Chain A
Amino acid sequence: MANIIVMVIILTIVVAAIAKIVIEKRKGVKCVGCPYSQTGDSNCSCNDSR
């Protein structure tokens, strides 16, 4: 039983990580997590000057 619970925990963590990567990639983020690597209309809009 303990093994099943641990396996479920591991799978949940792994699936959540994969889901996050897939969601970010669908949003057009080139580098997962990077706040400045999201794609705009044409390409990556990474930096903005003031």
Chain B
Amino acid sequence: MKVALTGNPNSGKTTLFNAITGKIERVGNWAGVTIEKKEGKVKKSLNKGNTSITAVDLPGAYSMSPFTSEENVTSDFVKNENPDIIINIVDATNLSRSLFFATQLLELGIPVVVALNKSDLNKKKGIAINVEALSQRLGCSVVETISTDGNHNGLEELISTAIEIKGKRQKAPFDSSAVDMADKSAIEASDRKRFEFVKSIVSEVENRKVSSNRQTKQDAIDRVLAHKWFGIPIFAVVMWAVFSISQTHLGPLLADTLVGWIDGFYGWAEGLLGEGVSPVLSSILLDGIIGGVGAVIGFLPLIMVLFFLLALLEDCGYMARVAAVMDRFFKRVGLSGKSIIPIIIGTGCAIPGIMATRTIKNERQRRTTAMLTPFIPCGAKLPVIALFAGVFFNDAAWVGTTMYFVGIAFIILGALIVVRITGEKNAKSFFIMELPEYRFPSIKRATISMFSRAKAFIIKAGTIILLCNAVVQLMQTFNWQFQVVTEGAADASILASIASPFAILLIPLGFGVWQLAAAAITGFIAKENVVGTLAVVYSITNFINTEELALVEGASDVASVMGLSSVAALAYLMFNLFTPPCFAAIGAMNSEMENKKWLWSGIAFQFATGYVASFITYQIGTLLTTGAFGSGFLPGFIVVAVIVVYVAYLMRRGDKRATEKLALSI
């Protein structure tokens, strides 16, 4: 038996799906991030019948007329895939809006159960709904549910009701079958009638003690957090606090313990191998595999704390306010306010962030967002940030916070450039976003989110990072004649000979040595590799050991091993953060852009951004700190000037096109 879970965005579908299937799919306290369907078997404890039930979680939709691609997924599924039952999740706190879609579903003839979700919030708000009367008016069963409650959540009743009504014919309380679907005005007239019908049901079954137009505490909080001017500084302070806790205080404290265990394991393995084992094999196992992976894993606690805090912010409804605050800026540069959703998702991993761009209907906006989303530092880039912040900037929280805001600035700048190059600077964009209510964030949900990210990090470290480190170690150990390079002659290794030509290009950026070039190159496989490769090429077993090469104490040792000034280190960090993302994310860009020209232009733009940003950081920073430009200024300046002039030329050409288009339209 197949049960489709449908409903408006942010009505609690995935939370209910997780509760009835036992899965831990991602949930988010905002609308419009679901982009694909998910399937799972209903738990035995809820399914008292003999038949197995498959629940299909569908993206949120406001109506059966598909407006965005994810709404298309929902309407296609319920129309074409013949689910046996539809469980329509209705947000009890917003009945009038939810019932529009519900009445459309009831017209399909498929048996429907309405899950009146979030009914606990209704009670708190003093809203009472007459469930029986609602059931009679809709002509279907209505069950009150609280999908966030582990015990008295109504889910068992919901499933048993779904089993009972299987095979029964569903009557429609509102019939629009006679409406000519090719006639737009007839559809609009029918929709108006449906609204009237829904309004009549709501007025009959719902009793509100509080007038909905009265200013609430939520409105008062919004007036501050989503304020036109204060919204951004507040967001900056919030992000600084998040980085401060995760990268400066709690994170390193926990990391110290973990690194102690990794060090202990390294020492144990070293002792076990002893002197009798070939130095080549010993270095592959100890430095390449244990040391390289250990260096990356050492940052796990920092990442876990950060994701826990970000999950809390998302769950309490704050991140949706950030989207609303950013909309004002995004609209000015031709992006949709919807673009902020992929960008916020991209803080976890760029791939789902890029995938989430498919909710954007406008092709240019979608492609631009897919191209710019990787500028926001993802989870994989966090160890790189933490490493450089710790080693060169005394664990300062401002480094991570600044990187986030520089990422946002590049997104805005990039969008501005793209909208002008494409000749669409006069295009208008509109964005209506439903702001979820503030609520106390769930520690359970944040913990689940944190552990799923931690699991992902460990799997990645144990697979891709491990293999890369082993390969890097081998390439560093041998020369092209497959002879072991002698100690101190690492420049003759395979790795050095491959990375050296790239290193020349990086001289104007302040880090033109093959070791750093090699780490940047392996970063395109997975960004965590930057840390792993640096650990291997500089033979640093960990970056967080407080006794040896500490993130705080003794950090200068690591800095001196790398031979970088603080300015060059910042430039290197920016290069790794703002050049193209990992290959998997580039693959995602390819899928979402559906256009090779856009893809290659996007990659070129990302390279250009990273290169120019690093060049400016290094050269200006060096000028300010030493009184003279850094090495390779002139060739670097020529490269940067060529990039800037070419982009300016493309923008002018686009502006001309936009002016012609505007003249034609007048």
Residues of A bordering B, CB below 8 Å: 2-3, 6-7, 9-10, 13-14, 17-18, 20-21, 24, 30-37, 40-50
Contact = CB atoms under 8 A, between A and B. Distances in A.
B282 A6 contact: yes
A25 to B, nearest CB: 10
Contact of A44 (B28, B36, B457): B36
B323 interface: no
Interface of B: 9-15, 17, 24-38, 57, 59-60, 273-274, 276-278, 281-282, 284-285, 289, 345, 348-349, 351-352, 355-356, 358, 452-453, 455-460, 462-464, 466-467, 470, 582, 584-585, 587-588, 591
Given A3-B277, A48-B25, 16 more contacts: A6-B285, A14-B467, A20-B462, A32-B464, A33-B456, A34-B349, A35-B24, A35-B452, A36-B349, A37-B355, A40-B37, A43-B591, A45-B38, A49-B13, A49-B59, A50-B28
Given A10-B281, A41-B37, A49 B466 contact: no
Contacts of A17: 462-464, 466-467
A4 to B, nearest CB: 10
Contacts of B26: 35-36, 46-48
A46 B36 contact: yes
A5 B13 CA distance: 52
Contacts of A46: 26, 35-36, 345, 351-352, 355-356
A38 to B, nearest CB: 9
A32 B35 contact: no
6 contacts: A2-B273, A33-B458, A42-B36, A45-B37, A47-B34, A48-B26
B27 A7 contact: no
Given A48-B27, A49-B34, A13 B289 contact: yes
Nearest to B288: A10
A22 B15 CA distance: 31
A2 B31 contact: no
Given A43-B36, A45-B37, A50 B12 contact: yes
A49 B30 contact: yes
Contacts of B591: 43-44
Nearest to B352: A46
A30 B584 contact: yes
B35 A3 contact: no
Contact of A49 (B10, B277, B348, B588): B10
A17 B30 CA distance: 37
Nearest to A7: B281
A48 B464 contact: no
A49 B463 contact: no
A50 to B, nearest CB: 5
Given A6-B285, A49-B9, A44 B466 contact: no
Contacts of B356: 46-47
B209 to A, nearest CB: 26
Given A35-B452, A45-B37, A50 B352 contact: no
Contacts of A6: 273, 277-278, 281-282, 285
* 9 smallest beta-carbon distances between A and B, as pairs: A45-B36, A46-B352, A33-B459, A48-B14, A33-B456, A33-B460, A49-B34, A36-B352, A46-B355
A10 B9 CA distance: 49
A1 to B, nearest CB: 9
Contacts of A42: 36
Given A21-B464, A32-B464, A44 B15 contact: no
Most chain-B CB neighbours within 10 Å: which of A7, A31, A42? A31
Contacts of B37: 40-41, 45
Nearest to B471: A14
B459 A2 contact: no
